Amino acid sequence: MHSTGPSSGDGKVPCEPRPPGSSLSLMAMAVEIQTFEAMDLGVALFVLGISWIILSLLIGRIRSSQQRRLPPGPFSFPIFGALFSLKEPLHQHFAKISKKYGPIVYLKIGMAPFVVVNNNEMAAQVLKTHDLEFASRPDDEFFRIISHDWNGLILGPIGDKWKTMRRICSTHLFSNSMLKTSAGFRESEMKHTVKSIFQQSETTINLHEVFSSLLSNSLCLVLLSERGLEVMDLSQKIASLSLHLNIGTLLPALDGLDLHGVYKKINRELMPRLKLLLEDQIDKHRRRKDQAGDGFVPRDFTDVLISLEDKDKLPDISILALLWDMVVAGLETSLVTLEWTMAELINHPRVVSKAQAELDSVVGRARAVQESDLPNLPYIDAIVKESLRLHPAAPLGVPHKNLKPVNLGGYTIPGGCKVLVNIWAIGRDPARWPDPGAFQPERFLGSSSAINGQNFDFIPFSSGRRVCAGYPLAMRSIAFYVASLLQAFNWRAANPGGIDMEERTRSITMTLNADLLVNASIRLDQNIICS
């Protein structure tokens, strides 16, 4: 008899395997499944962990690379940025820290990113190579208000309207023929000023007050054929509001709340007064033009603007904004430049003697100097240029802005940065200017240093698309005023220690810290002065 299977040692027949449907088999499968699930979960977690580490390293490397591409600069704290590390005057502070960080400095003032360029090579990159990329202006609310909703030339966006206004300035307002036409206004106001100084020659004279009146009346005559308007007062009050620390600068999301009341004051008080003044003048000019009919001849800038036709014709808001731009760009900057120039001259009698000798040789003392004499007075021209090199009226210029990232000097400038060109530092760069702090007009005699922004060692009026459109008028008028003052009078400081050359802090322009107090003695014949 055959056995049905192998016998065990105890004679018992071993059990047959249980069919798959049995409970033991189900338990075994469950254990296997749980084991595999646990293994899959562990592998998944392991893979996920490794992926997270790799991704973190990649993100860190990207961020690190981006940080390395940013220009170096001082540490920025959350919210406040580098605000509390800044020192006045800002142009001097930026020039100082550039020795540590290099010619391109990146920092945040509050939440706003800034880039400051401090030498001629980087200035050429911003204002020439990448001129279009940096040609925008910051879209700050304060700028929007004072530009009459971006309708002006200084702050308006680059576009067809802006190009039209730029062309009008070049061909109609600041052309040689128009400057010659408007010379009579400046000469008549200078004559009035010389008489006023003569009447005060036995007393201490505050030249700030004298120059404020001279420049305000001269500019109003050139623009509007009228003197005695309050444009200087309005200009200075509006400019002073820009110096207020607005919480919106630190936290742009709060800017619209106007927590300091700056926008309220300028919108409700100052700009309406300015708008009313200019609109009234434009209306007066239009009525005079209508009355004159075909015989109308423009006599000032407003007359020119309302007479433009075809593609040059401007809407009223653009005429108003352009006139205001000329007030903003022409008054305070000319005042600052004239004060610094006279301060340097009074502290440098050798330069005065040389300039007066040139005036005596070219013009003589039998008549007053005129603007037409300026081409024959190269030393007077050199004096003005040297003053602008040492004391640019707007030492950091008007802020630029790049809408998209731009590569600059091997660094990436993120889109939306406010970009400042340190004109003051460039004009005092010892690598470009021997004895840079000395007042030496002779360095400009026979020099090729153009004033129009083509030489990046010397850019007091900026350069590129945003170069100051009115620089021909500024150079002509300042040189004429300086020549007239030196021809008519001898000057000395009221303080025996000389003129204090310290700068005022908390000012958007480069201003003398103290009033310019002087004494004047007559040089020309009294009959010439009083005629």
Check the CA dihedral 452-458-461-466 and report its sign.
positive
* 51 is a domain residue: no
Could you list the residue range(s) of the whole structural domain that residue 304 is in?
83-530
In the 3-class helix/strand/coil scheme, how is 501-524 assigned residue by residue?
CCECCCCCCCCECCCCEEEEEECC
pLDDT, position 34: 44
Q: Cα–Cα distance between 366 and 335 in angstroms, integer?
A: 29
pLDDT, position 36: 39
* 273 is a domain residue: yes
Tokens found for residue 81: 């940025």
Query: Across the 531 residues of the chain, what is the mean pLDDT of every consecutive 10-residue run?
Result: 42 43 40 43 52 55 58 93 92 97 95 96 97 95 93 96 95 93 96 96 95 96 93 86 69 74 90 94 96 93 95 94 93 95 98 98 97 98 98 96 96 97 98 97 87 92 95 96 98 94 88 96 94 83
> Closest Cα partner for 106 from 441, 406, 419?
419
* 72 is a domain residue: no
* 404 is a domain residue: yes
* 167 is a domain residue: yes
pTM, 2 dp: 0.85
* 325 is a domain residue: yes
Largest CA distance in the chain: 161
- The DSSP string of 452-512 is SS-STT--TT--GGGS-TTHHHHHHHHHHHHHHHHHHEEEEESSTT----PBPSS-SS--B
Beta strands in 278-436 (DSSP E): 400-402, 406-408, 411-413, 417-421
**SS3 (DSSP) at 262:** helix
How many folded domains does the chain comprise? 1
* 45 is a domain residue: no
Could you tell me the CATH number of the domain that includes residue 349? 1.10.630.10
* 196 is a domain residue: yes
Tokens found for residue 129: 């190579």
Bridge-partner residues for 521, per DSSP? 490
- Kindly report the CA angle at 396 between 392 and 401, in degrees rounded to 5? 145
Alpha helices in 70-175 (DSSP H): 90-101, 120-124, 141-146, 160-168
